[in-house]
Amino acid sequence: YPATDAPAGDGLENIYKITPRKTSASFVFAFPKGYQLNADDYKYMKMRVYVPNASNFDGRYEPFKRLWPRMMNNMWAFGDNSSGFGQEYWEIPRFYMDESKFEDWQDITIDMSQAVGKHTRVFVINIGGEPWIDYEGDKTIDYYFSNIRFTKE
């Protein structure tokens, strides 16, 4: 970070390059333990995502066209990250990226209304939705995420 080889685009900030290697590859970020998302005011998570050429997703790699956002208050296997509120897990259904916008930056908006009343502080973006297949040999698919933010509208 920051990704130095990211494709060009207007207004890009804070660009991350994500290269999944396994079936449950995820991009995770979290607020400190004592913090939580103010979902009453910040109703949306927005980001821009760059997905490479569709030929990367032939055959067994087709599921990796999708994202699966999952939110919680601690990371599963990391007890030190627990915030003392139990596990308040919720998810957005897996969704496919718009193929007509592959090889370009796509604007993604995630409705965070399910976070109201929960101590949401960990944000997981799973690439592929856990299709239970691993990448073969030297196969790589690079994704880029930028402009990740929480907004009121």
Give the tokens for residue 27: 């991009």
Give the tokens for residue 116: 């109201």
pLDDT of residue 83: 56
Residues 6+ apart with CB under 8 A from 107: 46, 47, 48
Residues 6+ apart with CB under 8 A from 47: 107, 108, 145, 146, 147, 148, 149
pLDDT of residue 4: 94
Q: Are strands 44-50 and 90-91 parallel, antiparallel or unpaired?
A: unpaired
* pLDDT tens track for 76-94: 655 565 555 556 778 889 9
- The length of the chain, given as a count of residues: 153
* pLDDT tens track for 2-27: 999 999 999 999 999 999 887 778 88
Query: Whole-structure pTM over 0.85, yes or no?
Result: yes
pLDDT of residue 105: 98
Scanning the chain, the segments in alpha helix (DSSP H) are none
Task: Report, as ranges of residue numbers, the positions in the chain whose pLDDT lies below 70.
Answer: 76-87
pLDDT of residue 117: 86
Measured distance CA(108)–CA(144) in Å, rounded: 12
CB 145 within 8 A of CB 125: yes
